[in-house]
Amino acid sequence: MSNHMPKPSRRQGLHFEPLWWLLFSAGGVCFAVFVPAVALIFGVLWPLGIIDISLAQLQGYYSSLWGLVFTGAVIFLPAFHAAHRIRHAFHDFKLGGGSTTAFICCGTAAVVSFVAIWAWFMLPG
Amino acid sequence: MSYKPQLTGSWWLKHRFFKAYMLREATVIPLAFLLCSLLAGAFSLQDPERFQHWQAFMSNPLVILVHTLALTTSLYHAATFFVLFPRVMPIRVGNYQLPARYLVLAQWGAVWLVVALFIWLFAFGGQS
Amino acid sequence: MRSIQVLRYLPEESPQPFLQSFQVPVTDSTSVLDALNYIKESLDPTLSFRWSCRMAICGSCGVMVNGIPKLGCKDFLRNYPNDLIIEPLAHLPVERDLVVNMDSFLRHLEAVKPYLIEGKNAADSSQPNRQTPAQMARYQQFANCINCGLCYAACPQFGLNPEFTGPAAIALAHRYNLDSRDSGKAQRMAPLNSKNGVWSCTFVGFCSEVCPKGVDPAAAVNQGKVESAKSMLIQLFSGRAIGGAGQ
């Protein structure tokens, strides 16, 4: 960093906590509003054979723009929500929770989100 | 001369309220598992054989058990999260403060609406 | 008569705190503070504890009762049919018996400037500061704080990190930020924006549970996160440093 800036840096005193918190909050809403339905359909009803879902039907839905919305609301935001809580749990258990933990947790969430968006792009349609 | 007791990493075991807090924080563990399952699912859509493998994985009784846990904990998370919303972002129209219970009810309404939407999409094929 | 236990700390006698049992007379209206006063007057004059008003407004007599922060004058022995253990407030250094050192709390309180700061929102100094009931309603809830420190004893994040500004100080900062007569928000945002400010909170929410005056400090802290996020975004895009001093 240059130390002959004409005035104090506009980044002075700033940090990433507000960003992680906004992602955490948005993810918390998605976790509460969308995840129950997704867990019910894909995690319980479909595997138990109560409802039948075909590959063609899933491909149809997922390859549309709604697939990207699904990725954002059910994978990307909840992943950052989970990362934030896990990071703070490390702090609560006195096992870290500082910037290294934040980097690992949010980094994992970023990788998961990237892979999810990549999966959407890989699907023809 | 003074002493200061230090908190240990197990401070949250000392009181019911703190255990409920940790349970709230732990709801993300089954969520993380569900996210990984869904991620695998997103990749399996490219090829019918992979899709069958994914379906077999999702039908494993242990996996169903964890996903049932994810469903339960997502509802517990919702119950704890919805009451926080009106406290963090109180909604005020002019001088009228919208009562918190309406905001909580509206959020539960959204949950059931999304459940209904998914059942309509997947159990009825999106047809009326 | 019933038995209660008090955590004693007499540094000139023993370097370790120890529990001591006392037999106290009890009626339906005996408060924890009444029991402590009985011990001091009739059983052991060396017992040290703070108290003053006996009516839950001075905020001096905070103690842990069975591990929960309480005002001694507002909590009654009838609520504890079984064991009753009185300890000094958690997360603060203990000087003697039930007397804790409140310096760190007061330091955090001082840092957020919990008083009206004059500026563009204040009336001309020859005029009274007028405020409508609606303007007052915006902050009144947070103005009920009596600085008793129970919320600090309840907050595990303050216990883990004593540099955390903490519930009462942030609630009071928020109270003045919401006041239509105040112009000091820019000065208060610097401590609130820091990692030890609002961002150390994980919304455990126990502070609001134990508050004897019904203040909701957890709500204030988390409304403070929204305000802090806004303030930091404004700084990032406008280049004006947070804190406002000299800018």
Q: Is the Cβ pair B15, C91 closer than 8 Å? A: no
Alpha-carbon separation of residue C174 from C112, C152, C199 (angstroms): 9, 17, 14
Query: Could you tell me if residue B125 is inside a domain?
Result: yes
Residues A81/A18, Cβ–Cβ less than 8 Å: no
Q: Is the Cβ pair A13, C241 closer than 8 Å? A: yes
Q: Is the Cβ pair C160, B7 closer than 8 Å? A: yes
Per-residue confidence (pLDDT) for residue C48, from 0 to 100: 98
Top-confidence residue, B92 or B50: B50
* Residue matched to tokens 């242990």: B62
Nearest alpha carbon to residue C145 among C57, C52, C232: C57
Residues 6+ apart with CB under 8 A from C179: C116, C131, C135, C138, C139
Collapsing DSSP to helix, strand or coil, B3 comes out as strand
Pairing label, strands C99-100, C85-87 = unpaired
Same structural domain, B54 and B75: yes
| Residue to test with chain C: of A21, A23, A84, most C Cβ within 10 A | A21
Helix (H) or strand (E) holding C69: strand C68-71
Whether the per-residue pLDDT at A1 is higher than 50: the answer is: no
Q: Is the Cβ pair C90, B5 closer than 8 Å? A: yes
Whether the per-residue pLDDT at A2 is higher than 60: the answer is: no
Q: How far apart are CA B49 and CA B42, in angstroms?
A: 14
Query: CA C111, C186, C195: angle at the middle one, nearest 5?
Result: 55
Length of chain B: 128
CA C57: distance to chain centroid?
Answer: 13
Whether the per-residue pLDDT at C4 is higher than 60: the answer is: yes
State the DSSP string of B38-77: HHHHHHHTT-HHHHHHHHHHHHSHHHHHHHHHHHHHHHHH
Model confidence at C71, pLDDT cuts 50, 70, 90, reads very high
Q: What percent of chain A has pLDDT over 70?
A: 93
Q: Which residues pair with C64 in a beta bridge?
A: C69, C87
Instruction: Provide mean pLDDT across the span C67-80.
Output: 97
Q: If you measure CA to CA, which chain A residue comes closest to B66?
A: A43
Q: Is the Cβ pair A55, B123 closer than 8 Å? A: no
Alpha-carbon separation of residue C147 from A89, C102, C107, C237 (angstroms): 29, 10, 12, 37
Top-confidence residue, B97 or C7: C7
Same structural domain, B24 and B79: yes
Model confidence at C242, pLDDT cuts 50, 70, 90, reads low
Query: Could you tell me if residue B68 is inside a domain?
Result: yes
Per-residue confidence (pLDDT) for residue B37, from 0 to 100: 97
Per-residue confidence (pLDDT) for residue A7, from 0 to 100: 58
Instruction: Provide mean pLDDT across the span B27-54.
Output: 96
Residues C113/C170, Cβ–Cβ less than 8 Å: no
C78 Cβ under 8 Å from any chain A Cβ: no
Residues of C with CB below 8 A from B12's CB? 156
Q: Is the Cβ pair B42, A33 closer than 8 Å? A: no
Q: Is the Cβ pair B3, C17 closer than 8 Å? A: yes
Instruction: Provide mean pLDDT across the span C32-41.
Output: 98
| pLDDT tens digits, one per residue of C78-88 | 999 999 999 99
B59: containing domain: 11-89
Model confidence at A88, pLDDT cuts 50, 70, 90, reads very high
C142 Cβ under 8 Å from any chain B Cβ: no
Q: How far apart are CA C189 and CA A3, in angstroms?
A: 25
Instruction: Provide mean pLDDT across the span C118-139.
Output: 83
Tell me which chains share at least 3 CB pairs under 8 Å with chain A: B, C
Query: What is the ipTM score, two decimals?
Result: 0.93
Same structural domain, B28 and B68: yes
Same structural domain, B67 and B48: yes
Nearest Cα of chain B lies from the Cα of A19 at a distance, in angstroms, of 16
Residues C81/C87, Cβ–Cβ less than 8 Å: no
Q: Which of C225, C235, C243 sits opposite A10 (nearest CB)?
A: C235
Same structural domain, B108 and B125: yes
Q: Which of A43, A48, A93 sits opposite B70 (nearest CB)?
A: A43
Q: If you measure CA to CA, which chain C residue comes closest to B95?
A: C134
Q: Which residues pair with C69 in a beta bridge?
A: C64
- CB neighbour burial string for C172-188, b if at least 16 within 10 angstroms, e if fewer: bbbbbbbbebbbbbbbb
State the DSSP string of A28-90: HHHHHHTHHHHIIIIIIITTTTSS---HHHHHHHHHSHHHHHHIIIIIIHHHHHHHHHHHHHH
Model confidence at A123, pLDDT cuts 50, 70, 90, reads confident
CATH number of the domain bearing residue B24: 1.20.1300.10
| pLDDT tens digits, one per residue of C166-189 | 999 999 999 999 999 999 999 999
CATH architecture of the domain formed by C2-100: Roll (3.10)
**Structural domains counted in chain B:** 2
- For the ranges A69-73, A107-111, C125-129, C158-162, the lowest mean pLDDT is seen at C125-129
| CATH H-level, domain C103-238: superfamily | Alpha-helical ferredoxin (1.10.1060.10)
Residues of A with CB below 8 A from C231's CB? none
B93 Cβ under 8 Å from any chain C Cβ: no
Name the region of A83 (left: φ>0; alpha: ψ -120 to 50; beta: rest).
Answer: alpha
Q: How far apart are CA C87 and CA B115, in angstroms?
A: 49
Alpha-carbon separation of residue B12 from A67, B15, B25 (angstroms): 40, 6, 12
Same structural domain, B37 and B62: yes
Which amino acid type is present at position A27? G
Q: Is the Cβ pair A89, B64 closer than 8 Å? A: no
Model confidence at B128, pLDDT cuts 50, 70, 90, reads low
Average model confidence (pLDDT) across chain C: 94
Residues B67/B34, Cβ–Cβ less than 8 Å: yes
Instruction: Provide mean pLDDT across the span C200-225.
Output: 97
Same structural domain, B59 and B115: no
Between A and C, how many residue pairs show a Cβ–Cβ distance under 8 A?
A: 41
Same structural domain, B31 and B66: yes
All CATH 1.10.1060.10 domain ranges in chain C, comma separated: 103-238
Q: Is the Cβ pair B58, A28 closer than 8 Å? A: no
Whether the per-residue pLDDT at A53 is higher than 80: the answer is: yes
* Residue matched to tokens 């060396």: C46
Residues of C with CB below 8 A from B87's CB? 216, 218-219, 222-223
Query: Could you tell me if residue B75 is inside a domain?
Result: yes
Instruction: Provide mean pLDDT across the span B70-76.
Output: 98
Model confidence at C244, pLDDT cuts 50, 70, 90, reads very low
Q: What percent of chain C has pLDDT over 70?
A: 95
Same structural domain, B34 and B76: yes
Which amino acid type is present at position C73? C
Query: Could you tell me if residue B1 is inside a domain?
Result: no
B21 Cβ under 8 Å from any chain C Cβ: yes
Query: Could you tell me if residue B4 is inside a domain?
Result: no
Domains and CATH numbers, chain A: 17-40+55-122 (1.20.1300.10)
Q: What percent of chain C has pLDDT over 90?
A: 89
Per-residue confidence (pLDDT) for residue C73, from 0 to 100: 98
Model confidence at C247, pLDDT cuts 50, 70, 90, reads very low
Per-residue confidence (pLDDT) for residue A6, from 0 to 100: 52
Model confidence at C163, pLDDT cuts 50, 70, 90, reads very high
CA A32: distance to chain centroid?
Answer: 13
Same structural domain, B119 and B81: no
Query: Could you tell me if residue B62 is inside a domain?
Result: yes
